A = this chain, B = another copy of it.
């Protein structure tokens, strides 16, 4: 029996974005991305659930202190993306289409170096309560 436990912490950020491939003309963007390609942006209340998996420390009973995990997500993700325009205000999405899939991968890449290497990391990103993604799958 594995003695691994996963801990999850949910944080939120509100951001604007539009979906757009600069290699395509406007008509192709409109055809592929529909309303999501409208030029003046729309936005979402993003919810990010960070899952960290490992063996609890016998002295603390923690896989990882959720307060530390929360602080890390605040520092690395929320301060960067909250109340921002993902396309215009961030280096991460200057040349990367801010689909939910890509945002989740970027969040994972930003967090991974700061989570102890012995622990596994997965993120789930809610774009709306009905649309969400998980990385790695």
| In the complex, chain B residues whose CB is within 8 Å of the CB of A14 | 42-44, 128
| In the complex, chain B residues whose CB is within 8 Å of the CB of A16 | 16, 40-43, 85
Interface string of A39-68 (1 = CB under 8 A from B): 011111100000001101001111101110
- For A11, A12, A85, which residue has the most chain B Cβ atoms within 10 angstroms? A85
Q: Name the one of B3, B33, B137 contacting A5, with C-beta atoms under 8 angstroms.
A: B137
How many Å lie between the Cα of A117 and that of B62 in the bound state?
29
| In the complex, chain B residues whose CB is within 8 Å of the CB of A19 | 61
Q: List 18 A-B contacts (CB under 8 A).
A: A5-B135, A7-B100, A7-B132, A8-B131, A14-B42, A15-B42, A19-B61, A32-B60, A40-B85, A41-B41, A41-B43, A41-B85, A42-B83, A45-B129, A53-B137, A61-B97, A63-B133, A66-B131
- Which A residues lie at the B interface, using CB under 8 A? 1-12, 14-17, 19, 21, 23, 32-36, 38, 40-45, 53-54, 56, 59-63, 65-67, 82-85, 88-89, 96-102, 104-105, 120, 128-137
